[in-house]
Amino acid sequence: MVEELNPFKIAQEQLDRAAQVMNLDKAAHQILREPRRTLVVNMPVRMRGGKVQTFTGFRVQYNDARGPTKGGIRYHPAESLDTVKALAAWMTWKCSLANIPFGGGKGGIICDPKKMDDTELESLSRAYIRAIGTYIGDDRDIPAPDVYTTPQIMAWMMDEYANIIRHNQFGVITGKPVEVWGSEGRTDSTAMGAMFVMREAAKLLKIDLKKAKIAVQGFGNAGMYAYTLSKKMFGSKVVAISDSKGGIYDPDGLDIEKLEDARKRTGSVDAYRGKNAKKITNEQLLALDVDILIPAAIENQVRKDNAGKVEAKLLLELANGPVTPEADQILHENGVLDMPDFLVNSGGVIGSYFEWAQNLTQTYWKTPEFYAKLDEIITKSFKDTVQTRKDYTGKGKKITPRTAAYIIAVDRVAKAMKARGWY
């Protein structure tokens, strides 16, 4: 039987597993299997040379029982509605697990930003906001950056929304530059949250982070910060890292300046120069003998066919959906502690919540205060997940950390829907 790799069907299967364990009300389960609203838009954009190109975009508002929907916007040539629906579902559980007052949403545009200049990217970003502007707002739906989108793109979007409503509403978009009331600490908040989870999980597994060997799949924003923060905060040794073109392994540890130099010279980290460094594939990286494996790239990287090769004691899902349901079970049976994406990478949306709250109150925090609040929220989410897993194990149900986190998140959303009279 071929393993299912459709991201939305995977999200539904994950929900189904948790619903069965927790005996979720059938009506609530039915509501939560599908998004509340799905928007598909087509946007004509004048490109360089005067040619007009039409782009397709999506915005999914999955569930708003606990507050306005919240979620990033991706620019990617392989973007699809099912991917956006899955990400919006995971955002619903992410916000609920963190216990912040948001529902889940997500957006995306089918495009290749690497082939577009800044003028074209600005035109596309503004066109997208004009297309979805009726459906967003700081009390309705709040976008943020995601894959291949940046603080600058968020600033253009915020400005276009201000043009539409004829006044500033800074809280409509998060992940903005600090010059237009973005938040200090937001840029690396996704990876910083993962570091707090790594710290707590290492205590549980008795891993000495000063001696730990780490492999990171992905050298985008999240992966790069995971590299720098793990070394800065704990003194850990990152021995492998990769990007879409390939990876590099060095048992002596990798140097960030050499990694950046390799990427500038050739477009990939696999051109890294080091005495004992050797090129590896993304598949080989996942199977390295390391203490901690951090998938920080894209969906479906650890699957049924390769999950049994994972040697790490701890797997931190910094990417969205990097582990399939069948792989999740294999990792569990092999004794790998796999901490789920909507816990590990929730630092981004928690940081966006902080930015949104600061925009609404016009009271702004310094970075240390931001980090302290992030630590408090995400550490509690981790401990809640571990305790729920213990509780269900005590009832004779040996569940994975993902199912435990789902149980917490789904229960909160279901109770909110029940209180509102949705079922």
Catalytic site residues? 106
**Whether the Cβ atoms of residue 182 and residue 145 lie closer than 8 Å to each other:** no
For 257-293, b/e burial (b = at least 16 CB within 10 A) is ebbeebbeeeebbbbbebeebeebebebbbbbebbbb
Structural element, H or E, at residue 63: strand 52-63
CA distance 172 to 162: 9
Closest residue by Cα to residue 339 from 396, 283, 274, 384: 384
Helices (H), 99-220: 118-132, 151-165, 189-205
Using alpha carbons, list the distances in angstroms from residue 107 to 41, 97, 155, 181, 396.
11, 21, 16, 22, 40
CA distance 265 to 245: 14
Strand ordering across the sheet containing 292-295:
278-280, 246-249, 237-243, 213-217, 292-295, 314-316, 337-339
Token pair listed for 23: 């005996």
Structural element, H or E, at residue 43: strand 37-46
Beta bridge mates, 29:
none
